[in-house]
């Protein structure tokens, strides 16, 4: 299941089981501006995919289309064998922190419990046991001590962990994560990546956008390099090459060397928070 050329976008699994993610020739964007074009990929359950690309490359756009926040102008999306809107109860989504209003008067536990909202006769209501499940999700991310804090009081790293707790609270089968490690210190980043790897090993499918090339190389099963269209898709050892990264990052990154799974990259374009539509 690999390809490293733009001419062959889709990597089909060999298994006959249901696909966790199936995207075919997807084109979408904002108003009349195309943000991503002719994107295709297919993933089996339990796959950890790292989505690489510079700011403005369409990473966030792809995730928003997958979760159903943006319509497909062309092509199709199926998650867990269903259209995105029908799969929402089994999908956890973590947006970029900048997409939320952190001045909203709510506690951390209330924000996490929002991941358990469900519609009933046109209204939204919490599922039974929401408080207990929200606290359990916070404990999983080691931020249970923040439960009663107002969200506006959080640091950037704390915001990321709270958003991930909100994505995890309903125990989804598929996680769509936009820059999950942004703002975390090194130990916290390693701990979060260990958790994501564990979840994938347990059968959950994870798509995480990032600027961290080394993270994708060391932790992910597959890498997708995106710059408005698919540059390469496959195992990191095949995809993360000097040629591919040069095309993906417009010449702003260089592979200095590789020894097994160890990768030397410079300059490292990690966690750039420029306010551009991604």
pLDDT (tens digit per residue) in 101-136: 888 899 999 999 988 875 433 434 445 568 889 999
pLDDT at 6 over 60: no
127 vs 62 pLDDT, higher one? 62
pLDDT of residue 82: 93
pLDDT at 266 over 60: no
**Closest by alpha carbon to 222, among 80, 24, 47, 78?**
47
Distance, in Å, from the CA atom of 148 to the CA atom of 161, rounded to the nearest integer, reads 15
pLDDT at 195 over 80: yes
Percent of the chain with pLDDT over 90: 56
pLDDT of residue 183: 79
Contacts 24+ apart (CB under 8 A), 194-197: 195/140, 195/141, 196/48, 197/48
Cβ atoms of 224 and 216 within 8 Å: the answer is no
**Poorest-confidence range of 96-100, 111-115, 190-194?**
96-100
**Poorest-confidence range of 73-77, 175-179, 254-258?**
254-258
pLDDT of residue 100: 83
pLDDT of residue 254: 59
pLDDT at 244 over 60: yes
pLDDT of residue 99: 80
pTM of the model: 0.82
Cβ atoms of 63 and 207 within 8 Å: the answer is yes
**122: exposed, middle or buried (C-beta count within 10 Å: 0-12, 13-18, 19+)?**
exposed
**CATH: 3.40.50.300, 3.40.190.10, 3.40.50.920, 1.10.10.410. Which one for 21-101+171-266?**
3.40.50.300
Q: What is the arithmetic mean of pLDDT over 178-199?
A: 88
Question: What are the residue ranges spanned by the domains of the chain?
Answer: 21-101+171-266
**55: exposed, middle or buried (C-beta count within 10 Å: 0-12, 13-18, 19+)?**
middle
pLDDT category of residue 5 using cuts at 50, 70 and 90 = very low
pLDDT category of residue 92 using cuts at 50, 70 and 90 = very high
pLDDT at 191 over 60: yes
**Please, what is the average pLDDT of the chain?**
83
pLDDT of residue 117: 73
Centre a 10 Å sphere on the Cβ of residue 157 and count the other Cβ atoms it contains.
Answer: 18
Torsion sign across C-alpha atoms 168, 169, 173, 174: negative
Contacts with 88 (C-beta within 8 Å, 6 or more apart), sequence order: 67, 68
Helix or strand run (H / E) with residue 215:
helix 213-219
């Amino acid at each position: 299941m690999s390809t490293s050329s733009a001419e062959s976008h889709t990597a089909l699994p060999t298994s006959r089981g249901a696909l966790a993610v199936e995207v075919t020739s997807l084109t979408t964007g904002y108003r009349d501006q195309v943000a991503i074009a002719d994107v295709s990929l297919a993933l089996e359950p339990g796959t950890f995919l790292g989505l690489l690309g510079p700011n403005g490359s369409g990473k966030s756009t792809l995730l928003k289309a997958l979760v159903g926040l943006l319509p497909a102008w062309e092509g199709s999306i199926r998650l867990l064998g269903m259209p995105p809107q029908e799969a929402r109860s089994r999908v956890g989504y973590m947006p970029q922190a900048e997409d939320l209003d952190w001045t909203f008067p709510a506690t951390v536990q209330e924000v996490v419990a929002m991941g358990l909202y469900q519609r009933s006769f046109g209204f939204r209501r919490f599922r039974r046991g929401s408080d207990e499940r929200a606290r359990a999700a916070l404990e999983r991310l080691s931020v249970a001590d923040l439960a009663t804090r107002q969200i506006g009081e959080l640091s950037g790293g704390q915001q990321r962990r709270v958003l991930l707790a909100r994505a995890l609270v309903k125990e989804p089968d598929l996680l769509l994560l936009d820059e999950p490690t942004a703002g975390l210190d090194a130990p916290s980043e390693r701990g979060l990546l260990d958790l994501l790897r564990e979840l994938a090993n347990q059968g959950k499918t994870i798509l995480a956008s990032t600027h961290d090339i080394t993270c994708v190389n060391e932790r992910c099963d597959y890498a997708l390099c995106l710059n408005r269209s698919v540059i390469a898709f496959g195992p990191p050892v095949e995809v993360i090459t000097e040629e591919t990264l040069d095309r993906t990052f417009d010449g702003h990154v260089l592979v200095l060397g590789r020894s097994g799974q160890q990768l030397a990259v410079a300059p490292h374009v990690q966690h750039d928070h420029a306010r551009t539509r991604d």
